[in-house]
Amino acid sequence: KLGERLNRLIAEADVDWTAGRVALVSATLFMASMAILSRLDFVPWLAAVVVASTLAFAPVAYLRSVRAKRLKQVEEQLPEALEFISRALVAGHSLPMALELLADEIGPPLNQELRKTVDEYNLGLSMEQALDNLADRVPSVDIRFFASAIMTQSRTGGNLHDLLENLSETIRERATLRGQVRAMTANGRITAIILAALPFIIGGIMMVVNAEYFQILLNHPIGKTLLFLALCGQVLAFLVIQKIVDIKV
């Protein structure tokens, strides 16, 4: 199951990786980190494990970052794409032809996914199944809205032109609202970054001003434990603040 989730993440990020490569890089980062940290006397064993495990997660974090960036690009392209399809339908083109024309006109990454959808349709899949596959490949709420709207219209009938125009306007309004929410929560995100960085800044100043005073924390077992607990608290607080300001729209 983990391999399937990794393969899905790789496909959604659209990178030329394999699940085996991700696992190999993660294992290498973990072992290299443990080999280095275990040689540092002032680093507790448990802290070394936590840091090494965090670094081992870096490839997955990178894939998630690439996927998020790609999804954002798709969502930014979608309103214009819906308007293009709507105009093509008014001009007399069928939906498959409109999608094919759009795939030729619009830029990546949306054109890549639309080309796959058109190819699946040309190979014999129904348009409903091809659009459902599109929604599976691109885990975006807006893409799911688009696919569901097309599939619902094909079953019940109605004016697809008006439907796409309304959907395009709705997606634009959601994008505007997301921008407003992000602006309103910017203060919270900045606060999280400052609070997370402040202990390290103070620790660095103490090392420069009075290194012997700070060495107690690095050399004494109780000091190491306190530093580890403080680090865990900082990470937990940062994650909690990020969760609070991450408002889904």
* 67-91 confidence digits (pLDDT tens): 999 999 999 999 999 999 999 999 9
Query: pLDDT (tens digit, 9 = 90+) per residue, 187-245?
Result: 888 988 888 888 888 888 888 888 787 787 778 888 888 888 888 888 888 888 888 88
* pTM for the model: 0.79
Which amino acid is it at 22?
Answer: V
pLDDT of residue 150: 86
Rounded to an integer, what distance in angstroms lies between the CA atom of residue 131 and that of residue 164? 15
Per residue, the 3-state secondary structure of the chain, as one string, reads CHHHHHHHHHHHHCCCCCHHHHHHHHHHHHHHHHHHHCCCCCCCHHHHHHHHHHHHCHHHHHHHHHHHHHHHHHHHHHHHHHHHHHHHHHCCCCHHHHHHHHHHHCCCCHHHHHHHHHHHHHCCCCHHHHHHHHHHHCCCHHHHHHHHHHHHHHHHCCCHHHHHHHHHHHHHHHHHHHHHHHHHCHHHHHHHHHHHHHHHHHHHHHHHHCHHHHHHHHHCHHHHHHHHHHHHHHHHHHHHHHHHHCCCC
Provide the mean pLDDT of the chain: 88
> For the domain with range 71-182, which CATH number is right: 1.20.81.30, 3.30.230.10, 1.20.140.10, 3.40.50.1820?
1.20.81.30
Among candidate residues 75, 65, 80, 79, the one with its CA nearest the CA of residue 12: 65
Task: Name every residue whose Cβ is closer than 8 Å to that of residue 225 and which is 6 or more positions away in sequence.
Answer: 44
**6-10, 53-57, 179-183 — which is least confidently predicted?**
179-183
Query: Per-residue pLDDT averaged across 95-119, rounded?
Result: 93
- Extents of the domains making up the chain: 1-56, 71-182, 185-249
Rounded to an integer, what distance in angstroms lies between the CA atom of residue 36 and that of residue 139? 39
pLDDT of residue 45: 80
